[in-house]
Amino acid sequence: MTKIAIFASGSGSNAENIIQYFQGIQGVDVVLVLSNRKESYVLTRALKYSIPTFVFTKNELNNTTKVLDYLHKLNASILILAGFLLKIPINLLIKYPNKILNIHPSLLPLHGGKGMYGMNVHRSVVENKDQVSGITIHYVNEHYDQGDYIFQATCPVLSSDSPEDVKQKVQNLERIHYPKVIASILSE
């Protein structure tokens, strides 16, 4: 049994999509949803599926083994970041080499890096008058948005598009591709 743990800081629509997808796949289970924000809606979503949740502080993540201990306790073998805001510390990177995936809502290396999260990314795309945006699914390393790319998909950006319009298009790509890309990594 492959056990997935999902890290999220916000609404968790990607997390829920991944949970639903793997409910239909034998041999893979989402066993834990973790968040650094106790008010994250992702925690409510996880409860709906009776998936255990774990909330931690930035300090606990960076300076203790609490998160790692919990992941080990549940035998999580792959970590999925879905709108997770904090940098993954070195102790997790060492224990999960090439087993931590992130999704970024732009075509990296464009509009990536510290502070480039959610709507900030889509605003940046519109301000830059980009004609294309999309998603990047990549391995996580010690730098924001710099691990090896696994998959990219694109969507057109019209000159009339608002950041909210771009967000909708990018979210569609996320829904379609993120679970499938995770599944393909798991089957390697």
Could you tell me the two tokens for 91?
């102790």
Task: Put the strands of the sheet holding 28-35 in their side by side order.
Answer: 53-55, 28-35, 2-7, 78-81, 100-104, 132-139, 149-156
**CA-closest candidate to residue 104, choices 118, 89, 120, 125:** 118
Note if 104 is an active site residue.
yes
With b for 16 or more beta-carbon neighbours within 10 A and e for fewer, the 88-100 pattern comes to: bbeebbeebeebb
Count CA within 13 A, CB hemisphere, residue 85: 16
Catalytic residue chosen out of the listed positions 104, 111, 122, 138: 104
Query: How far apart are alpha carbons 102 and 112 in whole angstroms?
Result: 12
Rounded to a whole number of angstroms, the minimum distance from the CB of residue 142 to ligand GAR is 15
141 binds ligand GAR (CB under 6 A): no
Comparing every residue's Cβ against ligand GAR, the nearest one is 83
Exactly one of 4, 46, 76, 105 binds ligand GAR (CB under 6 A); that residue is 105
Rounded to a whole number of angstroms, the minimum distance from the CB of residue 72 to ligand GAR is 25
Q: Lay out the site mask for ligand GAR across 119-138 (x = CB under 6 A, - = otherwise).
A: --x-----------------
Number of residues located near ligand GAR, criterion CB under 6 A: 17
Residues 6+ apart with CB under 8 A from 60: 66, 67
Residues 6+ apart with CB under 8 A from 122: 105, 133, 163, 164, 166, 167, 170
Rounded to a whole number of angstroms, the minimum distance from the CB of residue 145 to ligand GAR is 6
Could you tell me the two tokens for 174?
């996320």
Residue 64 or residue 185: which is nearer to ligand GAR going by CB? 185
Exactly one of 117, 139, 149, 151 binds ligand GAR (CB under 6 A); that residue is 117
Exactly one of 103, 107, 173, 182 binds ligand GAR (CB under 6 A); that residue is 103
Residues between 3 and 62 with contacts to ligand GAR, criterion CB under 6 A = 8, 10-15
Residues binding ligand GAR (CB under 6 A): 8, 10-15, 82-83, 103-105, 116-118, 121, 174
Q: Which positions are catalytic?
A: 104
